[in-house]
Amino acid sequence: MGIRDLLSEVASTYDATAGSGRDVEGQIVLRRVSRRTDLALPPGFKAEGHGGQTTPAATPWIGVFDENGHRDPKKGLYLAYIFSADLKNVTLTLQQGITWLEERLGRGRAREEHLRYHAARLRRAVRRQERHGWIDEPKFKHHAARPRSYEAASVIAKTYDTADLPSDVTLMEDLLLGIQSLRVAEEADRVWWMGDAADAVEMSYEPGSHTPRPVTDPLAHFRPKDSSAYVAQIRARQQVKQRSHEKLIEDFGHHVAEHGYDPITDLQHPKDLVLRSHGAAAESSDEWLVEAKVVRNANPTQAVREAVGQLYEYRHFLYQKRHEPFLIGLFSEEIGAYATYLEEQGIASVWRDGSGWGGSPKARQWGMTSD
């Protein structure tokens, strides 16, 4: 017995029309997965079967979890064998948790777009092209929201024909590659959420984010991240990093709040900062999209390039069905001739100037500088 026999047994016994009761054969097979000792999983890993609770799953699946790490498939990254609705295929996939997004994005297209965009960014980290036979997004052959979200949430995947499953040796080799990819993706994801340096991997996106209602307090939706130093573990070495990026956003947010703008960070990730005229309705007001960059070694070139790329990317993907925002590059120090260059690209710029704020003509016109 082994993984091959388990996958074959699920494919031959599961029946979504038979319900989810304790006496249903396919459900019994899945519930017993966590107690099986014949699967020969890598040390520290455990499998769990899922066939639905009150309602049988359209696409049953078996999760493979690190016992010492993350085990909640509702959030985070994990590995799973997910069966297609017709049970003719089963796919080993590196998955993102989908349930935790329901409150913010619902169960439909917005969630799928978020998952698909995030998967593409994670895929760059695991270098899927080096894994022969692996694909990006599998098909689970069902129209329901959950199977469609599983498709969108896939980072990398390998699909097998349940009538012609490979040997346990081949399945184990693929599983080990999946575990390796899981480790890399988890590290990249962690660096993105923790860091602000140029080498941090950007990989999250929330199309159609819920926008806050107009408020009296201009700082009500402005919660910049902690600006204290922190320690990041990256590829088995320690880095002490300064959160100067967050401090830049915090200071500028307080500054523009005194000049007629509401700075907003709540529910805006991956956007650094959004500005609206004080008290304006979110649905109808102009919006300023701000991308903050720390200038390193007195050379603004890299910071400007990154700001341009991200502002254009976010405008394209995040404002497809909305009025396009005004664009602002926010910098930790003066950027010299790049201010004119950015204005020519339709991007205003603001930078620290001693204890105040300098900026390009557009930024001065909008009243966002100290002069």
Which pLDDT belongs to residue 121?
78
- Length of the chain, in residues: 371
More confident of the two residues 217 and 288: 288
Which pLDDT belongs to residue 111?
74
Task: Examine the fold and report which residue of 139, 161, 191 is the final residue of a domain before the chain moves on.
Answer: 191
Task: Examine the fold and report which residue of 191, 222, 246 is the final residue of a domain before the chain moves on.
Answer: 191
Tell me, yes or no, whether 58 and 174 share the same domain: yes
Question: How far is it, in rounded angstroms, from Cα 190 to Cα 192?
Answer: 5
User: pLDDT tens, 352-369?
Assistant: 999 899 999 999 999 999
Side chain identity at 46, as an amino acid letter?
K
Q: Name the pTM for this structure.
A: 0.54
Residue 215 lies in a domain: no
User: pLDDT tens, 171-214?
Assistant: 999 999 999 888 888 877 766 554 443 333 333 333 343 333 33
Which pLDDT belongs to residue 284?
60
Q: Which pLDDT band holds residue 305 (cuts at 50, 70, 90)?
A: very high
Q: How many CA atoms lie within 13 A of 258 on its CB side?
A: 8
**Tokens representing residue 59 in the block:** 């696409």
Cα 4 to Cα 30, 59, 160: the distances in Å are: 14, 18, 11
Q: Which of 217, 90, 94, 207 is nearest to 155 (CA)?
A: 94
Strand, coil or helix: 146? helix
Average the pLDDT over each of 15-24, 108-117, 348-357 and give the range with the smallest value. 108-117
Which pLDDT belongs to residue 204?
36
Which pLDDT belongs to residue 233?
46
- Strand ranges for the chain from DSSP E: 45-52, 56-66, 77-83, 89-96, 157-161, 230-234, 237-241, 261-264, 273-277, 288-293, 326-331, 347-353, 356-359
More confident of the two residues 74 and 132: 132
User: pLDDT tens, 260-279?
Assistant: 999 998 777 788 899 998 87
Which domain CATH number covers 154?
3.30.920
Residue 207 lies in a domain: no
More confident of the two residues 91 and 225: 91
What domain range is 335 assigned to? 230-365
Tell me, yes or no, whether 176 and 249 share the same domain: no
Tell me, yes or no, whether 12 and 153 share the same domain: yes
Tell me, yes or no, whether 173 and 258 share the same domain: no
Which pLDDT belongs to residue 196?
42
